[in-house]
Amino acid sequence: MTDVLVIPPARAPVRQNRALRSFLRNPAGSISLVFLLVVTALAVAAPYLYPEDPLSMVARPFLWPGQNPAYPLGTDSLGRDVAAGVVWGTRVSLLVGFAAMLLGITIGLIVGALAGYFGGRTDDLLVKFIEIFQTPPNFVLLVVLVAIAQPALSTVIVAIALVTWPTAARLVRAEFRALREKDFVRAARALGYGHARIILREILPNALPPLIVTASVLVATAILMESALSFLGLSDPNVVSWGSMIGQGRELLRTAWYLSAVPGVAIVLTVLALNFLGDALNDALNPRVAAER
């Protein structure tokens, strides 16, 4: 009688469905996701909602919000539409946030994976390389990098990525160190799989959940950093961002506080939504939290 090898069904879809249900049961995470989708839709639709240059003067200065239906959020000291600036600022902030996050995650993933997987001298060398970027204060290093290069969006994105990638690198390194001695990795080595296949197909998928959570935090961090640079006048002067709007309105806080308050509220709500989304993803993807529930 021939023995029949029974292969158990894959549990990945089950875990994915459980994580999705856990995420949807979190009201803060669901509301945050909807809010971020609306913000993203505004950013995409900015050229259609406000086809004119947001830096152009369209009305008389200092129209307060609600004073003129054509300009629901009012105008600034030069007669520029505040609503147009907020919508176009959404586009800039999200572009910088997600682009810097992707670049930072990519650098951190490569460095952290190599350090955590190979260990030994490779780990020691790469950890010292990470510490070089973590020694100076993040924002001071960011200002120095932007001041050296030309103030453009691409410069800001690269500078923010260079400041934030060590966070992702340390997380990935810790995950790879914990996973490299697991039974499924040893089995892959026994089957003769190469290092690249083990890293990319065996360890990396299991290390992704905490990295996904960190990605949402890095987007929020990048938006705050870009806003701070724009506030100081160190970002691209040819584009409108939330930080530049706050910076231009800071001298008019006593007479026209809405010029700083409106983009400030946009930053607060977006960053809060990203943080709540990260917490919800952590609750859904973290097996320990799921087990406690």
Instruction: List Cβ neighbours of 204 (8 Å cut-off, separation of 6 or more).
Output: 113
- 204-231 helix and 242-249 helix, angle to the nearest 10 degrees: 20
Of the candidates 249, 248, 244, 243, the residue with the CA atom closest to the CA atom of residue 267? 243
Quick one: DSSP state of residue 56? S
DSSP one-letter string for 170-231: HHHHHHHHHHTTSHHHHHHHHTT--HHHIIIIIIHHHHHHHHHHHHHHHHHHHHHHHHHHHH
Our CA dihedral for 23, 24, 25, 31, rounded to 10 degrees, sits at: 100
**More confident call, 253 vs 1:** 253
Of the candidates 73, 98, 77, the residue with the CA atom closest to the CA atom of residue 87? 73
Architecture of domain 79-292 in this structure: Orthogonal Bundle (1.10)
- Residue-level pLDDT at 8: 44
Distance CA(142)–CA(243), nearest Å, equals 15
Distance CA(114)–CA(82), nearest Å, equals 47
Of the candidates 119, 57, 112, 113, the residue with the CA atom closest to the CA atom of residue 85? 57
Note whether 70 and 59 are within 8 A (CB): yes
pLDDT band at residue 116, thresholds of 50, 70 and 90?
very high
Q: Where are the domains of the chain?
A: 79-292
Per residue in 53-81, pLDDT (tens digit) is 888 888 899 999 988 888 999 999 889 99
Note whether 110 and 171 are within 8 A (CB): no
Beta bridge partners of 71: 68
Per residue in 239-250, pLDDT (tens digit) is 899 999 998 888
pTM: 0.87
Mean pLDDT of the chain: 86
Note whether 271 and 36 are within 8 A (CB): no
Q: Which tokens is 73 given?
A: 């959020």
- Residue-level pLDDT at 14: 52
Q: Which tokens is 264 given?
A: 């400030």
Radius of gyration of the chain (CA): 23
Highest mean pLDDT among 166-170, 201-205, 208-212: 166-170
